[in-house]
Amino acid sequence: MSPGRRLGLHLAVPLLLLLASCAPNAPQDTLRPAGPIARTIMDLFWPVFWIAVAIFILVEGGILFAVIRFRERRGTPMPKQVHGNVRLEIAWTVVPALLLTGVAIATVSTIIALAREPKGALEVTVTAHQWWWEYQYPEQGVVTANELHIPTGRPVLLTLESKDVIHAFWAPKLGGKQDVIPGRVNKLTIEADAPGTYLGQCVEFCGLSHANMRLRVVAQTPEDFARWVEEQKQPAAPAPSGPPATGEDLFVNGACAGCHTVAGTTAQGRVGPNLTHLASRQTFAGAIFDLNRQNLMDWLRDPPAMKPMQPEQGIGMPNLNLTEDEIEALVAYLETLR
Ligand code: CUA
């Protein structure tokens, strides 16, 4: 291969990789913040980024210039040496020190500003489990999973706790990233300007289904949020007679109740997500599947096939070997949990 072609190949591969990271629809794009907290982070990111770009161009440009201009050629004399030039040494010590001091001041003051607990915030306790998120609204008395509802225009103070291993909470458009560590309580504030569904996920490797531990933040106008809270506070509607009643019976008196809660019934398990208002959610199983009849049927037929589990450690929903009739009855019941 000629040197020219080899160089072309070496440039083409990284360029293709770079292009592969471009997407017209990027719901987790941190570069497009959708709330004041995320904007504060961007206001720090851009100046630091452009300073780094300028230094990169200056330093790499200098190196390239020296490599080409002073390369060894026959008959050229040794170029003038600058080693020991006091003025240059001072300049390239002082300038970076000043730049780094500036970056440090901006960074530390942003960290302090973001760590301050805002006044009038909605408080939500976020508990990370392998592999799903539990949200408790202590003041409202609401418990839900994976989809965090918040009102727009109001800071939301998250208290982050873990039931098992280290996870990390991140909804890129609404705020920063925060580790969720067992035995420790971490705080994170997020806020959304406008109603919408903002995607996020667990960003700390936490086992087999780490990639399936996603989350959504559903931002609603304060009125819609209040309505949602009222609905979530209700116990589950009693199932009408017919197949759903059979489903309820299977659920409440079978294995499901050992792990799941449906408020208003005797199912009070705390191992898996609270399902009182499951049918009001967009997704299930760590926010990875759209909530619809087909997906729920497939899920009940063989959960570990849909989302890798660690059954030997008792983590995740096991295959209960349900019959098709039982699956149908259970799904019919779950669909009533609005
Ligand atoms: Cu939880 Cu990764």
Q: pLDDT tens digits for 89-125? A: 999 899 999 999 999 999 999 999 999 999 999 999 9
Place of tokens 């294995």: 255
Contacts of 117 (CB under 8 A, 6+ apart): 157, 187, 189
pLDDT tens digits, 189-230 = 999 999 999 999 999 999 999 999 999 999 999 999 999 999
Q: What is the mean pLDDT of residues 2-28?
A: 86
Spacing, Cα 331 to ligand 1 middle (Å): 28
pLDDT tens digits, 270-325 = 899 999 999 999 999 999 999 999 999 999 999 989 988 876 777 888 889 999 99
Spacing, Cα 43 to ligand 1 middle (Å): 28
Question: Buried b / exposed e across 230-261, counting CB within 10 Å, b at 16+?
Answer: eebeeebeebeeebbbbbbebbbeeebbeebb
Are the CB atoms for 195 and 152 separated by under 8 Å?
Answer: yes
Is 315 touching ligand 1 by the criterion CB < 6 Å? Answer: no
Is 250 touching ligand 1 by the criterion CB < 6 Å? Answer: no
Is 134 touching ligand 1 by the criterion CB < 6 Å? Answer: no
Q: Is the pLDDT of residue 35 over 70?
A: yes
Interatomic CA distance for residues 197 and 9, integer angstroms: 41
Residue nearest to atom 1 of ligand 1 (CA): 167
Give the model's pLDDT for residue 240. Answer: 63
Spacing, Cα 302 to ligand 1 middle (Å): 22
Is 206 touching ligand 1 by the criterion CB < 6 Å? Answer: yes
Spacing, Cα 133 to ligand 1 middle (Å): 9
Interatomic CA distance for residues 88 and 188, integer angstroms: 45
**Range picked from 74-88, 135-149, 257-271 for highest mean pLDDT:** 135-149
φ/ψ of residue 87, rounded to 5: -60, -45
Spacing, Cα 204 to ligand 1 middle (Å): 5
Spacing, Cα 132 to ligand 1 middle (Å): 8
Is 129 touching ligand 1 by the criterion CB < 6 Å? Answer: no
Which pTM value belongs to this model?
Answer: 0.86
Spacing, Cα 134 to ligand 1 middle (Å): 13
Is 213 touching ligand 1 by the criterion CB < 6 Å? Answer: yes
pLDDT tens digits, 46-86 = 999 999 999 999 999 999 999 998 888 887 788 888 788 89
Are the CB atoms for 198 and 216 separated by under 8 Å?
Answer: yes
Which atom number of ligand 1 is nearest to the Cα of residue 128? Answer: 1
pLDDT band at 179 (very low <50, low <70, confident <90, very high): very high
Q: The tokens of 305 are what?
A: 């096939």
Which atom number of ligand 1 is nearest to the Cα of residue 131? Answer: 1
Q: The tokens of 29 are what?
A: 């794009």
Is 167 touching ligand 1 by the criterion CB < 6 Å? Answer: yes
Q: ∠210-293-258 over CA atoms, to 5°? A: 60
Interatomic CA distance for residues 121 and 155, integer angstroms: 5
Which atom number of ligand 1 is nearest to the Cα of residue 207? Answer: 2
Q: The tokens of 287 are what?
A: 């926010």
